[in-house]
Amino acid sequence: MRSLQDQVAHTIAQTDPIRRNLKITLTYHRILHAMKPLVGSLDVSWPAYAVWASRTVGHYVRAEEIPRLARGFVEEADLVSRFIGAIDADRAELGALLTLPATFLHAAIEQVTEEIPAQLGEGNRLVFEELGPAYMTFMQAFSGKPQGDLATLETYLGRYRPGRPEDGGQTMLAQAFVAYHEAMRSTSPHQRAEWMLLANLTTGYHEQIRLQEPIAKALDARLSERVVAHLETASHGISASLLRSLVRVAPSVLDGVEEAWRTAATSVFMTLRLPDCELRLGADVPQLSDGRDFPLDVTRLSLPELHKLLGELDHTPNQLRGSRAHDWSLLSDRMNFIVDVFRSRQQHAPLFDPPFSPQQIADIDADQMPSGDLF
């Protein structure tokens, strides 16, 4: 089998989005376990969440469910009635609209369903290309130094570009690995847990900023723009005056539908499937099996840096109620949900479980497409 470093490089070089996603998911799992000698096995590191997020993304990259859900959304949105109520035309002309859903509306939604898997796959690739090597080089730098070393840390941090994530900078990512280093140096479980949470949240914040464009594009149906373009390139057997009326009212009719699409995608389409449960992004993060919101080590927090970050990101501090995301295309909504997932599942042992069966893992390692359930 290839070394883990070679697996990271081989995964990055993979061009097929479906196979690449499977390799990304499996490689994150192996990075997670490779981090354990440095940060322990009680608190998970960020790759634990990346495993299951990538596995979930793979379901959509393979386009196994989006077309059915998207078409159902359009059919239930009653768009024909909205168009008929928005324009001024005679009865015969309005009757012609009844034949249009199978043409311009469905053509628009077909474009949406084709683009979502591509955008999600691109985000999957973008994050792994940056974070896969980052974790590998961190582990290499501190191999044999499980208690940390400040001189080694200073040299390691030199690999990161200064600046904000939205500008291509990596200052925030560097801060995450400073926090991992502090976790390595910590002598108490509580202190280590807080540093691990800070490291994971900072990593997650960095990658979500980097993912803003692909996520926004995936959830931006742009129905009005698509419908107008389709109407203007085909007459559909309707008069020029009715065509002009349709083009004129399309934005006002469809803007609300686009907003409803983003809400529906967040609450219905988008999920995070963990080994033992499924989290819906449009619902509050569920409590732990013991009825607690968070593990004891991260229930009462003392780390100033952690308080500051949570104060910026958590809309309803220190509780899972109110953690749901209303619009996944908004960074603030995503992070409000993510901080509570990370904090509540900080010591969730099932996150260390493999994402695939032994045979599926063997197939992925052999560059073959595995059979069986992958989601």
DSSP string, 110-144: HHHHHHHHHHHHHHHHHHHHHHHHHHHHHHHHTTT
Please indicate, yes or no, if residue 336 is contained in any of the structural domains: yes
- CA end-to-end span of the chain, whole Å? 25
Compute the Cα dihedral for 161, 164, 170, 172 and give only its sign: positive
**Global pTM value:** 0.83
Of the candidates 206, 156, 148, the residue with the CA atom closest to the CA atom of residue 181: 148
Q: Which of 50, 328, 38, 341 is nearest to 203 (CA)?
A: 50
Buried b (16+ CB within 10 A) or exposed e, 121-141: bbbbbebbebbbebbbebbeb
Residue 63 within a domain: yes
**Distance in angstroms (rounded) separating the CA atoms of residues 159 and 134:** 9
Give pLDDT tens digits along the chain (375 positions).
789 999 999 999 999 999 999 999 999 999 999 999 999 999 999 999 999 999 988 776 666 555 555 555 555 555 555 555 556 554 444 555 555 544 566 666 667 667 777 777 888 999 999 999 999 999 999 999 999 999 999 999 999 999 999 999 999 999 999 999 999 999 999 999 999 999 999 999 999 999 988 887 777 667 667 766 766 676 556 666 666 666 666 666 666 666 766 666 665 557 788 999 889 888 999 999 999 999 999 999 999 999 999 999 999 999 999 999 888 889 999 999 999 999 999 999 999 999 999 999 999 999 999 988 876
Residue 373 lies inside a defined structural domain of this protein: no
The predicted pLDDT at position 101 comes to 47
**C-beta of residue 45 within 8 angstroms of C-beta of residue 34:** no
pLDDT tens-digit series, residues 107-130: 666 676 677 777 778 889 999 999
The residue type of 232 is: E
Is residue 102 in a domain?
yes
Residue type, 81: S
Residue for token pair 């809400």: 263
Using alpha carbons, select from 181, 223, 225, 217 the residue that is nearest to residue 199.
181
Q: What is the pLDDT of residue 90?
A: 46
Tell me if 193 is assigned to some domain: yes
Nearest alpha carbon to residue 143 among 27, 29, 37, 31: 37
Amino acid at 140: Q
SS3 category, 302: coil
Into how many domains does the chain fold?
1
Say what the pLDDT of residue 85 is: 58
Query: CB within 8 A of 258, min separation 6: which ones?
Result: 220, 221, 222, 223, 224
Q: Does the residue 137 lie in any domain?
A: yes
* 53: in domain: yes
Q: Is 292 among the domain residues?
A: yes
Which residue spans within the chain are E strands per DSSP? 271-273, 278-280
Q: Provide, for the chain, the percentages of residues in helix, strand and coil under a 3-state DSSP scheme, each rounded to the nearest 5.
A: 65, 0, 30
**Dihedral sign computed on CA atoms, order 7, 127, 267, 101:** negative
Domain that holds residue 222: 4-365
**What pLDDT score was predicted for residue 328?**
83
**CA atoms within 13 A of residue 265's CA, in its CB half-sphere:** 27
Structure tokens given for 26 = 């499996």
